[in-house]
Amino acid sequence: LVWEIVKAFEVDSCIIRTLEEDGNLKLLGAVGVEGMTIAPLIPAFYGISRGILEDRAPVVIEDAATHPLTSLLYAKGKNVPGRFVFE
């Protein structure tokens, strides 16, 4: 499924999570983020997820270096492998 989304939207990466009853987002699958640490569970209303759930709309990040939701994380970890870790 994740590969199909990557192909359909012509993007470099995709992470799919489900909203669990305990309020966490559980990792289902990921493509294009190999070599990065991805937390298996994250709080639902944290970071990028918060905006998605509040607005009930997808978030497209075309450039992590300049997007308001990721630019600070990008700047902090630009030389650190696995820099986009949301825990």
Q: Which pLDDT tens digit goes with each residue over 60-87?
A: 778 877 888 777 766 665 555 444 444 3
Sign of CA dihedral 37, 38, 41, 45: positive
Residues 5-54: pLDDT tens digits? Answer: 889 988 888 888 999 999 899 999 998 877 667 889 988 887 778 878 88
Cross-strand bridge partners of residue 29 = 16
Tokens representing 85? 């870790």
The C-alpha atoms of residue 43 and residue 25 are separated, in whole angstroms, by 6
Quote the pTM value: 0.64
Sheet holding 24-31, edge to edge: 14-19, 24-31, 41-43
